[in-house]
Amino acid sequence: MKTDLDAYWMPFTSNRQFKKAPRLFTKAKGMHFWTDDGRQVLDGIAGLWCVNAGHGRKKITEAIQQQAAEMDFCPPFQMAHPKAFELAGKVAAIAPAGMNRVFFTNSGSESVETALKMAIAYHRVRGEGQRTRLIGRERGYHGVNFGGISVGGIVANRKMFGTMLGGVDHIRHTHDPARNAFSVGQPPHGAEFADDLEKVIALHDASTIAAVIVEPVAGSTGVLIPPQGYLQRLREICDRHGILLIFDEVITGFGRTGQPFAAQTFGVTPDLMTVAKGLTNGAVPMGAVLAKQAIHDTFMTGPEHLIEFFHGYTYSAHPLACAAGLATLETYADEGLLTRAGEMAGYFAEALHSLKGLPGVIDVRNIGLIGGIELTPVPGQPTKRAFDVFLDCYDKGALVRTTGDIIALSPPLIIERSHIDQLIDTLGGAIRRPA
């Protein structure tokens, strides 16, 4: 397969390295990709945390094809189509109790921007327009738009792009390897990290703060699992000060932690929740913000002909995306996939933690079907050890993801024990080889 690689400027990619030795997939089915030279590669990351039901699902493909033939587009402003309402209802039905209003976007990044704007606008409508400050967390990832990188806390995503949004502060991250290394599931130490929010509130005054946004499980920074009691304490502090709590569930949503949403896994309900990725199994770009009814209803005032919330996208609730979303949720329900991570979690955790003791492995973290393996950096060459492991795994037939010197795993929810064995064996061999 001869392909001209020059024109495409690839996202989040070392472009020069890639174009010297391209890694091209041309087919996907079930748990696997196939390369342009015919090799089969086990997908250990569900595409990019999104293909939760596995690749090439017939029901989803046929739904998209049928919708494209029937109606390719419907304007989302002042008009709509039935599948938008049907999908919103089905998402609300599996959401945490009370989160029954759904605003559609096209990606996780757009969902974050939408949730941040909702939070600020909500307080303004309530007569507390001074609540404009947003609080994120160190090492947080909330997409790549300006709002998302402002509340986010990954340095490389921020340092080249100027001064960010004003009125943003951050609480500290929960990574504590000295006390929590090699914890299985939620680490026992660190609930007190949530008290950092009280310090930020004291600095800025609660009356100026609109919302706090966190990932229940911080994924892109290297799989940081919330300490026991941490999210509960954040919820209590936000409630005490009238601050909205936003969960970014773009990665954790739709079965990744063993329940439909991580909010349910951890027993903490936010006020707003961002989703994307698994909503359509990655087949068509789509995201959403789930809101508590009370937040939605606060906007529903004034003359009925007026727009209540001046925000949206040309492709909000796109017909093809809605068709894909409906077929995806049906597939999840038919096969029990929204809880399957809980069923596979024990075997997955045992396999992951078997890597403890290998050269350079300084921590292993897990929850549901999410895993992180932290490696000692090569002196003077940060990220190289993990990148070399990534390349080795690819050559040996397994796809993993790197973030810094951490290997992240998030396989499709259809994974079987034999796939877990292959994935961990391949990864273990790649970790051993440089030593």
In a domain, 295, yes or no: yes
Q: How big is the CA angle at 120 (ends 119 and 123), to the nearest 5 degrees?
A: 90
* Residue 10 falls inside a structural domain: no
Query: Do 74 and 131 reside in the same domain of the chain?
Result: yes
**Domain interval for residue 131:** 62-335
Statement to judge: residues 328 and 423 lie in one domain? no
Same domain, 177 and 314: yes
pTM (2 d.p.): 0.97
User: Looking at the structure, do residues 147 and 157 belong to the same domain, yes or no?
Assistant: yes
Q: Are 284 and 324 in contact (CB under 8 A)?
A: yes
Whether residues 155 and 303 fall in one domain = yes
CA angle 187, 268, 350 (to 5 degrees): 35
Picking from 284, 307, 335, the residue at the C-terminal end of a domain is 335
**Cα 145 from Cα 98, distance rounded (Å):** 28
* Residue 192 maps to a domain: yes
Q: E strands of 256-332, at which residues?
A: 272-275, 287-291
The predicted-structure confidence for 221-273, as pLDDT tens digits, reads as follows 999 999 999 999 999 999 999 999 999 999 999 999 999 999 999 999 999 99
In Å, what is the CA distance from 368 to each residue of 102, 115, 217, 270? 25, 26, 11, 20
Contact 332, 53 (CB under 8 A): yes
Q: Are residues 145 and 278 located together in one domain of the fold?
A: yes
Consecutive H or E run containing 41: strand 40-43
Output the pLDDT for position 81.
98
* Residues 369, 329 within the same domain: no
Q: Which of 285, 317, 335 is the last residue of a domain?
A: 335
| Domain count within the chain | 2
Token readout for 88 is 């919103």
Strand partners, 406: 374, 403
Nearest residue to 267 (alpha-carbon basis) of 285, 290, 281, 247 = 247
Same domain flag for 316 and 303: yes
User: Do 41 and 25 touch, CB atoms closer than 8 A?
Assistant: yes
In a domain, 347, yes or no: yes
Helix (H), strand (E) counts: the chain: 15, 15
With respect to residue 3, please indicate whether it lies within any of the assigned structural domains. no
- In the prediction, which pLDDT does 352 show? 98
Residue 342 and residue 287 share a domain: no
Inter-residue contact 256 to 412 (CB < 8 Å)? no
From 313, 335, 357, give the residue that closes a domain: 335
DSSP secondary structure, 402-413, as one string: EETTEEEE---T
Contact 135, 167 (CB under 8 A): no
Residues 141 and 41 in one domain: no
CATH number at residue 200: 3.40.640.10
pLDDT at residue number 435: 59
Q: Determine, yes or no, domain membership for 232.
A: yes
* 86 and 21 belong to one structural domain: no
Q: Is the pLDDT of residue 1 over 60?
A: no
Distance in angstroms (rounded) separating the CA atoms of residues 259 and 369: 11
Encode pLDDT of 109-131 as tens digits. 999 999 999 999 999 999 999 99
CATH number at 417 reads: 3.90.1150.10
3: pLDDT strictly greater than 90: no
Q: Considering the chain, what is the average pLDDT of its residues? A: 97
How far apart, in whole angstroms, are the C-alpha atoms of residue 141 and residue 130?
26
In a domain, 92, yes or no: yes
**Same domain for 363 and 288:** no
What does residue 208 show for φ and ψ, rounded to 5 degrees? Answer: -105, -5
Q: Is residue 4 part of a domain?
A: no
Which of 154, 262, 246, 172 is closest to 209 using CA atoms? 246
